[in-house]
Structure 1
Amino acid sequence: MTLRLKIILALIAVFSLYVSADWAIQRSAIFPRFMALEAEQARQDLQRCHQAISRDIEHLATFGQQLASIDAIRRNLQTPEDRRIEANVFKLLLPSSGLDFVAVLDSKHDVVLRTSRLENSMQSLLLEQFPEDRWPSDHPLLQSNNNVQSLDAEATPVQGMLMTKAGPLLVVACPVKAIQSSPSFLSSPCGTLVVGSLLSKGRLAAISRQTQVDFHIYPVDEESGELNSRLKNGEKCLNELIQLAADHDALLSTSPMLTEEYSSRQLKVYSYLADLTGKPFLLTEANIDRQISLQGAQVMNFAMGSLFIAALVFLVILLILLQYIVIGPLTVLTCQASTIGTTGDLTVRANIRRSDEIGRLAKQFDSMVQQVSNSQKRLLDDSRAAGMSDAAKGMLHNIGNVLTNISVLGESLTEQLRKSKLPSVGKLAQRIEEEDDLYSFLSTDERGKQFPTLLGQLAQHLEQQRHTMISQCESLSLNLRHAQQILESQRELATGASVMEATDLYELLHDVREILSASLARYGVTVNIQGTPLPSVLIDRNKLTQVLVNLVGNARDAVRDLPAERRQIELRLKTTDQQVIVEVCDQGCGIEPENVQRIFAGGFTTKPDGHGQGLHYCVLAAQELEGSLYAESDGADQGAIFSLSLPLHPAQGVAV
């Protein structure tokens, strides 16, 4: 699979996941909000219909109070001898006022007048709820007057709805106040005026026009044929409300308003209306067009389409840019790497391992910086005049460490050349020259048949030997450069200033391990580096390198004669707010408690062949680096830890 195809498939997968996630979020989080908003709007529409009925009842109450304040009615109710109220006046008033029923009662609840514009339905309209002679004192419309017990109390109208044979009736009972000139009637109202208006189809149509809602009502106790038909069609919400209406306590405590997704374009909302006694007697229904959810679905579909098109356009543009910016240059680089591999030019072998121009540029830039830094180091004068004796001893000690490594590397190279199978190539060539019929020798002779195998093994051995010698030569070159740096560092004594340069401590630890790689390998000592790369620190790199080489060299000498599992050295890199700490840990011979501080004194040593200059130089160099060096050990054969603390931002020195 080509790189181009991998990138295309990866981008398609990413965009597909994004589009799928977006679609899932819209369907699971956004669209339900549209539906919830739609349901809430539908409930508000049904509530507005209920409020419209309540306003009609309020208007009816206002009109009834105006009628109850007419002096003729009040006077007739106050005069028991002459209670004549003309029914014709109310019959003329009913059509123009929208009233369907009027009744006047005296203070004993006897009927003084009753009339209705529904001539043939008068009996059914007044049946049960409106007796012909005297109304019972517990009648719902008379509860306000019955509660008036004192002179200061004022009777208020009783208003609400009642179910009659003619249909739902909006009804108001207004107390008729006595005229002030008759003090015998001041303690209570002299009668009651009852007015009512049917909740007819015309009134329902007016409410629908006013609220712009398709509004319907259905009796609960006396189910009509239309309601039964709807139940048979399976409207579960309506059936549930009827069942709830049977349980008055449960219904009154919850006041339900249920919604039903009747179709993809219509939503139904159901609730109830209660009569004067507080019992539900009407089921209400509102049919709402599902404009919100339909528009929400359209918006989300448009958003998904736009997202898909945008993703497709972005994918095409990104592929074009990748072709010109990444894939094309990588193809050219691959061809160049193949050419280098064919010609065998080993001077650029490190670049062959890189896969892009940025990596090569970074490596070349680092090399250029290193060359410039080395050039500047060679131009510095001698640095210090005082302490030349100790400096010379420290230099000799450091040079001795380097020479030890160089000697080990030289011996290893000599041993590699001594064991080289290169002379075997000459023998094979001589054998081939001696054969007259080379083809027969290679194809039929048993010794000749082994030539390809021998040549392959010989080539493999020489290749391994070549890599080993190259690695050792690089280590030898690094040691020579370190020796050169040690010599150049002595020039700093003449100027009295240290050479400060940005140093990557993590990289420096690897350089120290590489400098000592030959002697470490000779004794089978493993160096493990723990920590992560840190920002560069401004410090004297040469001096710090010499300190670390001495510390790692001492740790090597401490473990070289121990079993293999203890020949381990750990280099730990830690940081605090103001310091960076380098720890050199070993499991070697350890330090006696009384010698933990003495080992840093000049001339003191615990080695049979030591001179006592290495650690003394290290502690002085640490102080010059504005840091400190101290040792820790639990005693003999318990290993040791040397901790070098350095400031993150040295205050002195010349930055390079």
Structure 2
Amino acid sequence: MKLRHRLFLFSTAQLAVFGALFLVAYLAFQRSVVPLFEDLLREKNERVTMLVARELDVPLGAQDRALVAAAVAAIQRDPDLAYIVVHDSTNDVMFTHGVSPKRDPFAAKPNTATIHDGRIATWGEVSLEGIQLGKVAVVFSTERMDTLDTWAQRIAIIVTLLWLGALAYSMLFARSFVTPIRAMMTFSRKVAGGELSERIATRAPSELGELCDYLNEMTADLERRERERKIAAAAVESMQRELLSVSRMAGMAEIATGVLHNVGNVLNSLNVSVSVIGDRVRNSRVGALAKSVELFEGFPGGLPAFLATDKGKVLPSYLTTVSKRLAEENASVLGELASVDRNVEHIKAIVTMQQTYARPSGVSESIVLTTLIDDALRLGEASFAKHGIEVVRDYQTAITVNSDRHKLLQILINLISNARHALKNSPDGPQQLIVRVRTVQNVLEIVIEDTGIGIPAENLEKIFVHGFTTKEGGHGFGLHASANTARELGGSLRVASGGIGCGATFTVEIPLDQPARAHDHN
């Protein structure tokens, strides 16, 4: 059903209900109130007649007109009184007041009111101790009751006319109300379709007119904003092209920062290994061996003659001792050289990995996790010993995981390096770095805990944000890169700390079995 029909039906229903109620009220007035007033006036007429008859017994018995007039004086002030007449026993008129009705008031039965020509008449006999002294008739006018009935009819006519006017107005109102709404609906559809130049031309009364004006103003504002949006969109498109170029440069800078940070961690270990090799070479017994050779080369008679001397007799045992020491030095230097080789390979892997940063890369392989953790701890052994840091290994020896070796090693190196710095800056209390490994269902958890300076609560949420750091000279890339790398491995990195002086715990979660992928070289 259309809105106009609904409005008309609603208003018509209201008017119909009002009209029905008024009709019921008018019929109830005509059938109940008017007869009630008539009965009340009839009873009043009969009661007044009986009272007057009792008051006239003495005046009529005395045949005194003055007493008769005095007896009926009170009733003359009644607004409904039209006529009163008093007869004596001989039927002579003793008193009369008002206009005599056309019909004889004594024609009906005594003490019974009759209505005729707008008059209510009742007569009664006047007697004293059974002796009839005369009679009296009292006539009331029904003018006031007729006036009330006339006004009720007039009101009914006026209300009927008003009802018909309201019905006509409701029809006109429904039409004038719906027409602007239809225009606004058509306008809204066009505006929604992009026709922002559309305006509402239909004029509407009062609030609807204000709404139409507001919609026109709103559409004009939208049209202006659309023009500004197109201009801004063109500017944004130009800026996006510039930002794309800048973002490429920023990405290159971030990759370079990652390379420098991760390579720097490995170079620290390389520096330790080189220092150890240098110490071994400087303290080597090779120089003493060279001096021993010079002794017998410059001795007269050569080596056989030198061996016959007291010094020559101890030369073989001395050479044996020196050879053993040289073998030990050689093994130590080879071990450090192997560490250098591993670190160099790790640097190569870091560079290769950062070169393929924008695409999935790396080789998933079966890794003995304990060996990988030991390699990461070995990079900082010299620093641990120098600062008295105790390393606690809490893991089994047979745990294996299928993942990217170099990415996982990069995470471990970063976390162990951060723990080492936290312990160095916290001289009070035990200096412990604890590494725990546990499996939960198909997830591997590597926990690196330290008893260092701790992390304030306000820094926990932003500790993995790029550029955030509290370390003097730090650049805020290590933990950010480690968190990203953990996600690349299908896992996560989270942190917990009780606050300043309570240490920190970093937990790496990665799946035990990561599908193998072919290495992708640029």
TM-score bracket, shorter-length normalisation: 0.3 to 0.5
Q: TM-score w.r.t. structure 1 length?
A: 0.37
Q: TM-score w.r.t. structure 2 length?
A: 0.46
